[in-house]
Amino acid sequence: MVARAWRERRTLLLGLLVLGLALAEGAAGDWVALALADGHGQSDAAGAIGYGIFVTFMTVGRFAGTVVLDRFGRVPVMRWCSATAVVGLALFVFAPVPWLAFAALAIWGLGASLGFPVGMSAAADDPAHAAARVSVVSTIGYGPSFAVRRSWACWRSTSASCIPCSPSWCCLSRASSWRPSRGNARLSRHLPEPARPRAGPPYGSPSLSRPALRKPVPESASAGNPR
């Protein structure tokens, strides 16, 4: 079933559509605040406000999506969303003034609002093949995004000589820092223990012994030599 779904043209196109709009949504969450601060010369607070604008209009688009889909249909709405997301993203990147960049975030949020949920819904139209088609669409939509983010994190956390180009290599190299492994715990039992500091001399040694008490003076000597 799954292998057959990978050969269906409609399922693959839905996966590409979900991939594009999911990357547009994820890019906004990762880079909008930084782009406003570094690219458009705004403060960090203004960058946070810009991301808030994007999320607000994306939420509005999803709440209003049911009414829009019932009135215009799924195919025209998805075309409109894709075009709106592209226009908003391009306008944000090339905006000459800051206020235009904030307006572009609103357009970008509206365009990216319905892509992922509607794409998944379209993949599950046929109940007999819904599981296989949704798995293919979700793999295409999530897989490249996961690989790019993990590769970027690996590249940032390792030196240039380690060649961190493979996502699998990145996951293996970072696995020990994410969660301790039982195998590593078993292997650590056979490793030699680190050298412990040597204990100091015993209490009875001359360096730590009590100071010698003054010897008692004999009575004959104390009587012959009065103080």
Report the pLDDT value the prediction gives residue 164, as an integer from 0 to 100.
Answer: 42
Backbone phi and psi for residue 165, each to the nearest 5 degrees, phi listed first: -100, -20
Q: How far apart are CA 89 and CA 73, in angstroms?
A: 24
Q: How far apart are CA 61 and CA 41, in angstroms?
A: 29
In this prediction, the residues of the chain whose per-residue pLDDT falls under 70 are: 144-227
Report the pLDDT value the prediction gives residue 209, as an integer from 0 to 100.
Answer: 47
For domain 2-169, give the CATH superfamily: MFS general substrate transporter like domains (1.20.1250.20)
Q: How far apart are CA 132 and CA 4, in angstroms?
A: 9
Domain boundaries, the chain: 2-169
Cβ-contact 115, 21 below 8 angstroms:
yes
Model confidence pTM above 0.85: no
Report the pLDDT value the prediction gives residue 160, as an integer from 0 to 100.
Answer: 41
Cβ-contact 140, 123 below 8 angstroms:
no
Report the pLDDT value the prediction gives residue 139, as an integer from 0 to 100.
Answer: 85
Which residue reads 């290599």 in tokens? Answer: 169
Report the pLDDT value the prediction gives residue 6, as an integer from 0 to 100.
Answer: 87
